[in-house]
């Protein structure tokens, strides 16, 4: 019989040492080995760079990848009306999407201002009650007050079309992923890539297949939004209590009945959340799709960007934010609505005390799914539509614009803050951006790939390292290594600034409830505002430059980082915090020794999301002087001779996103959950 040997102590007459099989010793020596290996690799990398660095070499304007993609464009144009791929596939999709968009736009426009406002209020009342209804009425009226009614209707029609198609595709795929393991495993990497793709990367392929216009815009929005629909649906179906499924199975329910009578009803909050998030994602594509001739509020923002008219862009951006808030609150209220059985039971108890004169109506209402309350609320929709159809109402609204005060404030800030903004731009460019860009563009491609592989293997595991290494090598294969390194330098600088601001603000919000409550609506609005809107104040203050893209990227990416950091700090168990305080820890020690280490998972997730959002915004910055890959993409779909280069740049952006995402996510998985 084997016995466990006692661990030696100081009273045993010898020093306290770890036995060969002691896992505590392994835990202490493991990090030491990693740090030692990391230090050696850093020194080796520095030496290799000093030995092998080269002068910056401009990308080849006639690279093989450019010619290949140009030939693909020529083939598509030549065979658009003859090849079966287009005749029986792409062209039918384009036609069907256009018909759907036109139908929804005609229905929405035909109601008129008063009719659409009334129907929006009635639908919100049915789904959520009087508070969402009041918000919907006020929100839709504000589109007319801002003088942006027609543009708002176009945006609403495109958004509803994209959301409808996303739900029709995403919900069945989400159910399939939740019920069939191999289907979920096959979809996961595809969804990962789709979610880290910067929106600019969609534009050139969409124009290649669907030309410019509403169909290309809807399909691009669909690609951007449907991963969220699939993932949330999968989580909702997979989260249904096994006991409920087992009980239904024991009663003899078939697979179809289990799905329609058990899983889908119990996953209703998740399904409504999927619709909610799909709407938010679709609205965030409004401005980007305007670059490929999609109508709506995005056109106003692009025109304002061309003229550096911050006020005009503010009005259009405000309209998008209001639309997002209305749709968000209505769908959220629908998700939190009480179950139908509860309403029906309450009403049945109440009707027993009512007079016989109303008994027939109440019995009919009690048989209506959702109870009497929903019976009367649902009746408001057709009643309102009938009234509006019979009595066309012309509404004259006052006009209100924030363009002049916003422009005046921008001009005053630009005039009085010129010295400060120039100092900030020059300081960041001189101390951070220029040295990092020089370092990256003078690094040979093979050394960059080797460094990515080595550090990825050390920090994130071999799978993440292999994917990141292939992505790094692919940048050279596309013929855009120098522009990729310039974009990477801008992304890294913006990410550092984003994390500094985001972690600071997140910690403050986690430790001060009043500050968190005050900043919450600001963060909501910032996350809803289209990304292009952030370019305008940055251009007005800093001019067209790389630093302008950095400023816009930081503003765009900080809100989600703040939220994730705050959530990570707040999720630290209260018992751990109390134990640290009872041991005499100061607030500074509590933060650095307890909360931040235990919130490491949230911090790494914040870094991952910050990098992805910064990359998306830095690429958009190609419109305002950031150059590099963003400019290549814009030139690609705006100038025919540059299409090959633009499509290659889109793929290069994808590879950069994959590289950064795999390394950060792999590092989190390799380290495991924080303790």
DSSP string, 68-86: HHHHHHHHHHHHTTTSHHI
Say if residues 368 and 102 touch (Cβ distance below 8 Å). no
Say if residues 535 and 305 touch (Cβ distance below 8 Å). yes
Q: What does DSSP assign to residue 338?
A: P
Q: What is the dihedral of CA 131, 133, 139, 140, to 10 degrees?
A: -170
Sign of CA pseudo-dihedral 489, 490, 496, 499: negative
The position carrying tokens 């600019």 is 200
Of the candidates 210, 80, 69, 203, the one whose C-alpha atom is nearest the C-alpha of residue 641 is 69
How far CA 227 is from CA of 163, 199, 560, in Å, comes to 12, 13, 19
pLDDT beyond 60 at 367: no
d(CA 552, CA 313): 14
Alpha helices, H only, 53-148: 64-79, 84-85, 91-128, 130-145
Give 356's pLDDT tier (boundaries 50, 70, 90).
very low
Give 388's pLDDT tier (boundaries 50, 70, 90).
low
pLDDT beyond 70 at 458: yes
How far CA 597 is from CA of 168, 572, 604, in Å, comes to 42, 10, 11
**Around Cβ 182, how many Cβ atoms within 10 Å?**
8
| Contact partners, residue 550, CB within 8 Å, separation at least 6 | 428, 433, 490, 493, 494, 497, 618, 621
pLDDT beyond 50 at 348: no
Alpha carbon 204 to chain centroid, angstroms: 20
pLDDT beyond 70 at 535: yes
What is the pLDDT averaged over residues 61-76? 85
Length of the chain: 675
Return the half-sphere exposure (C-beta side, CA atoms, 13 A cut-off) of residue 512.
Answer: 11
d(CA 535, CA 533): 5
Sign of CA pseudo-dihedral 462, 468, 472, 475: positive
How big is the chain by its Cα radius of gyration, in Å?
29
Give 5's pLDDT tier (boundaries 50, 70, 90).
very low
- At 352 the three-state DSSP class reads coil
pLDDT for residue 667: 63
H or E element, residue 440: helix 434-441
Return the half-sphere exposure (C-beta side, CA atoms, 13 A cut-off) of residue 395.
Answer: 23
How far CA 434 is from CA of 47, 172, 443, in Å, comes to 21, 49, 14
pLDDT beyond 50 at 635: yes
More confident: 105 or 635? 105
| Contact partners, residue 254, CB within 8 Å, separation at least 6 | none
pLDDT beyond 80 at 100: yes
What is the pLDDT averaged over residues 246-259? 82
pLDDT beyond 80 at 56: no
Average model confidence (pLDDT) across the chain = 78
d(CA 378, CA 375): 5
Give 357's pLDDT tier (boundaries 50, 70, 90).
very low
How far CA 392 is from CA of 148, 366, 428, 474, 512, in Å, comes to 21, 34, 59, 60, 52
Alpha helices, H only, 355-399: 359-367, 371-390
* Both structure tokens of 129: 């009650």
Percentage of the chain lying above the pLDDT 90 cut: 2
d(CA 344, CA 374): 9
Q: What is the dihedral of CA 478, 483, 485, 487, to 10 degrees?
A: -120
pLDDT beyond 60 at 359: no
Say if residues 619 and 200 touch (Cβ distance below 8 Å). yes
Alpha helices, H only, 180-213: 181-196, 200-210
Of the candidates 140, 531, 143, the one whose C-alpha atom is nearest the C-alpha of residue 301 is 531
Strands (E), 139-298: none
Q: 525: exposed, middle or buried (C-beta count within 10 Å: 0-12, 13-18, 19+)?
A: middle
Give 669's pLDDT tier (boundaries 50, 70, 90).
low
Of the candidates 191, 196, 401, the one whose C-alpha atom is nearest the C-alpha of residue 317 is 401
Task: Give residue-wise pLDDT tens across range 579-613.
Answer: 888 888 888 888 888 888 888 877 887 887 888 88
Q: What does DSSP assign to residue 592?
A: I
Give 525's pLDDT tier (boundaries 50, 70, 90).
confident
Of 9-13, 50-54, 134-138, 564-568, give the lowest mean pLDDT range.
Answer: 9-13
pTM score, whole prediction:
0.75
The position carrying tokens 């965030």 is 284
Q: 501: exposed, middle or buried (C-beta count within 10 Å: 0-12, 13-18, 19+)?
A: middle
d(CA 459, CA 91): 47
pLDDT for residue 169: 92
Sign of CA pseudo-dihedral 117, 118, 123, 126: positive
* Both structure tokens of 600: 């490491």
Q: What does DSSP assign to residue 545?
A: S
Give 32's pLDDT tier (boundaries 50, 70, 90).
low
pLDDT for residue 476: 87
Say if residues 499 and 610 touch (Cβ distance below 8 Å). yes
Percentage of the chain lying above the pLDDT 70 cut: 83
d(CA 228, CA 196): 12
- At 398 the three-state DSSP class reads coil
d(CA 189, CA 496): 27
Q: What is the dihedral of CA 429, 432, 435, 440, to 10 degrees?
A: -110
pLDDT beyond 70 at 18: no
pLDDT for residue 16: 44
pLDDT for residue 112: 80
Give 374's pLDDT tier (boundaries 50, 70, 90).
low
Nearest-5° Cα angle at 198, 195 to 200: 135
**Around Cβ 131, how many Cβ atoms within 10 Å?**
12
């Amino acid at each position: 019989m084997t016995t466990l040997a006692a661990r030696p102590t100081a009273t045993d007459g010898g020093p306290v040492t770890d036995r060969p099989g002691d896992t505590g010793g392994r835990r202490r020596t493991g990090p030491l080995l990693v740090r030692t290996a990391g230090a050696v690799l850093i020194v080796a990398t520095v030496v290799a760079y000093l030995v092998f660095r080269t002068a910056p070499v401009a990308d080849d304007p006639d690279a093989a990848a450019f010619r290949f993609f140009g030939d693909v464009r020529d083939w598509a144009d030549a065979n658009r009306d003859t090849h079966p791929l287009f005749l029986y596939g792409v062209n039918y999709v384009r036609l069907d999407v256009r018909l759907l968009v036109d139908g929804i736009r005609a229905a929405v426009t035909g109601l008129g201002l008063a009719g659409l406002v009334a129907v929006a209020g009635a639908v919100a009342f049915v789904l959520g009650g009087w508070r969402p209804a009041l918000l919907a009425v006020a929100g839709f009226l504000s589109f007319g007050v801002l003088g942006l009614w027609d543009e708002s209707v176009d945006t609403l029609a495109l958004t509803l079309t994209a959301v409808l198609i996303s739900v029709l595709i995403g919900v069945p795929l989400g159910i399939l992923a939740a019920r069939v393991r191999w289907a979920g495993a096959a979809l996961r990497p595809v969804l990962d890539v789709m979610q880290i793709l910067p929106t600019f990367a969609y534009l050139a392929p969409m124009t290649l297949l669907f030309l410019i216009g509403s169909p290309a815009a809807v399909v691009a929005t669909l690609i951007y939004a449907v991963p969220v629909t699939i993932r949330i649906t999968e989580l909702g179906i997979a989260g249904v209590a096994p006991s409920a499924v087992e009980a239904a199975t024991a009663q003899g329910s078939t697979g179809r009945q289990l799905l329609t009578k058990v899983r889908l009803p119990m996953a209703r909050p998740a399904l409504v959340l999927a619709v909610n998030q799909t709407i938010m994602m679709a609205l965030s594509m409004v401005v980007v799709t305007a670059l490929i001739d999609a109508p709506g509020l995005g056109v106003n923002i692009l025109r304002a960007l061309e003229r550096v008219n911050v006020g005009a862009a503010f009005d259009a951006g405000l309209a998008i934010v209001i639309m997002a808030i209305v749709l968000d609150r209505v769908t959220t209220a629908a998700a939190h609505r009480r179950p139908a059985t509860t309403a029906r039971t309450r009403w049945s108890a109440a009707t027993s005390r009512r007079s016989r004169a109303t008994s027939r109506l109440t019995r009919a209402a009690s048989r209506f799914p959702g109870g009497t309350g929903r019976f009367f609320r649902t009746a408001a929709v057709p009643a309102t539509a009938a009234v509006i159809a019979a009595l066309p109402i012309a509404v004259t609204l006052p006009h209100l614009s924030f363009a002049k005060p916003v422009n005046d404030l921008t001009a005053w800030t630009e005039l009085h803050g010129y010295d400060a903004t120039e100092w900030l731009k020059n300081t960041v460019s001189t101390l951070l951006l220029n040295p990092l860009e020089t370092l990256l563009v003078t690094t040979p491609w093979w050394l960059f790939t080797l460094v990515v592989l080595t550090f990825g293997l050390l920090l994130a595991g071999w799978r993440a390292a292999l994917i990141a290494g292939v992505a790094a090598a692919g940048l050279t294969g596309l013929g855009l290594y120098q522009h990729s390194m310039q974009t990477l330098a801008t992304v890294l600088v913006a990410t550092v600034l984003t994390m500094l601001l985001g972690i600071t603000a997140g910690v403050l919000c986690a430790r001060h409830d009043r500050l968190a409550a005050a900043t919450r609506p600001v963060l909501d609005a910032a996350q809803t505002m289209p990304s292009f809107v952030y370019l305008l104040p940055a251009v007005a203050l800093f001019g067209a430059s790389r630093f302008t893209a950095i400023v816009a990227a930081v503003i765009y990416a900080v809100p989600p980082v703040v939220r994730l950091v705050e959530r990570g700090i707040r999720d630290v168990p209260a018992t751990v915090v109390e134990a640290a305080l009872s041991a005499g820890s100061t607030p500074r020690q509590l933060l650095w020794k307890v909360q931040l280490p235990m919130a490491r998972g949230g911090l790494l997730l914040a870094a991952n999301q910050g990098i992805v959002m910064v990359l998306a915004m830095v690429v958009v910055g190609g419109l305002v002087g950031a150059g590099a890959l963003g400019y290549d993409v814009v030139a690609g779909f705006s100038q025919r001779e540059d299409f090959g280069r633009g499509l290659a740049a889109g793929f290069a952006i994808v590879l950069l996103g994959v590289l950064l995402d795999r390394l950060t996510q792999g590092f989190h998985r390799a380290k495991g959950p924080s303790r």
